[in-house]
Amino acid sequence: RCENPCTTSSCGRMIYIYPEKNLRAYPGVERGSVEWDETYKIRVNVEKSINHFKDSFCIAGRKTQNEKTLHADLLLAGISQLITVMVADKIHQHQYIRSLKPLIA
């Protein structure tokens, strides 16, 4: 038993998730359909890009919580990513679009 219960209910605290609000379980597109396949091909690429952005530019492991510092970090990370794409395109090495290290090494 909890010493400081957050509710007087005998079954504890309950949280309701309505189907129309649960987009992970009910995304609004029928699974297995052509629309599903097309949408989730794009989603995979978007999630990879976000993960790459967070990991490569150390956005995920930031030590500060200051909003101005976060804003500056995001701007510099975005600029770095765009420069990487431009350099890789200019030297016709498209396999390095996602990685700055091989370009400058």
Q: Could you state, in order of their start, the residue ranges of all structural domains in the chain? A: 30-104
CA trace torsion 83, 102, 40, 70 (10° rounding): -50
Distance CA 93, CA 49 (A): 19
pLDDT at site 1: 66
Contact assessment for residue 45 and residue 65, using Cβ atoms and an 8 Å cutoff: no
Distance CA 97, CA 81 (A): 8
**Confidence at 45, pLDDT banded by 50, 70, 90:** confident
50-104 pLDDT, tens digit per residue, is: 887 777 667 777 777 788 888 888 888 888 888 888 888 898 888 877 777 777 7
**Stated pTM of the model:** 0.47
pLDDT at 9 over 80: no
21-36 pLDDT, tens digit per residue, is: 777 777 778 888 998 8
pLDDT at site 30: 83
pLDDT at site 34: 92
Contact assessment for residue 85 and residue 79, using Cβ atoms and an 8 Å cutoff: no
pLDDT at site 84: 86
